[in-house]
Copies of this chain bind each other. A is one copy, B any other.
Amino acid sequence: MKMKVKIKNKKEVSPERLSKRIKISPKNRNGLERLLKCQAKRGLKYSKKRAAIIEYFIKADRHYTVEQLYNEIKEIVPNIGYSTIYRTLRLLVDCGMARTHHFGETDTRFELVHKEQHHDHLVCEKCGRIIEFTNNGIEKFQNAVAKEHNFLVKNRELQIFGVCKRCQQRKR
């Protein structure tokens, strides 16, 4: 006879359990655990729709506007509401699993936080393409500037706006 195991301080769904529901690659594991901690701390329950959004967002791994994500998600989860997308993305940001950007547009863009290093963006003004890059030289000089001003750095954001290679070629 199988005994029912009683777990005392649960509230916290195990990563294994949620992983069965949210299919996720190993590299996003730490992000997922962060999310679970966050959910637990807030007493949030599991939800299919939220899980679907998160799973999709993680797999796609792009710089999404709410509108874009909404349009893609609704193909998978019909009846999904705009609010749920907004709420879920806000949750991810609060948990540190996502971050926001403003690439010169009105809409906020959301991107998954899973890369080890800080990275910045080249933003093509013609086609909207976003190219990520990391540059230690830039980082170093940024830190030097901060130190000069006795400024305690919490975060930084660098965007280089212009025309991508492809769009330059297409022009002529």
- Residue ranges of A at the interface with B (Cβ–Cβ < 8 Å): 102, 122, 124-125, 131, 133, 135, 137-138, 140-142, 144-146, 148-165, 168
Of the A-B pairs whose beta carbons lie under 8 Å apart in the complex, a sample of 5, sorted by A's number, is A102-B102, A137-B141, A151-B165, A152-B164, A153-B162
Please, how many angstroms separate the alpha-carbon atoms of A9 and B161 in the complex? 38
Total identical chains? 2
| Complex contacts, A135 vs chain B, CB 8 Å | 141-142, 144-145
Min C-beta distance of A155 to chain B, whole Å: 4
A135 to B140, CA, bound (A): 11
Contact check: which of B151, B159, B168 meets A160 at CB < 8 Å? B151
Cβ B162 vs Cβ A155 within 8 A: yes
A81 and B81 alpha carbons, distance in the complex (Å): 38
CA distance A32 to B131 in the complex (A): 37
Q: Given the complex, which residues of B lie within 8 Å of A137, measured CB to CB?
A: 137, 140-141, 144
Give the 3 A-B CB pairs with smallest separation, nearest first: A137-B141, A150-B165, A152-B163
User: Given A135-B145, A145-B122: A161 and B168 within 8 A (CB)?
Assistant: no
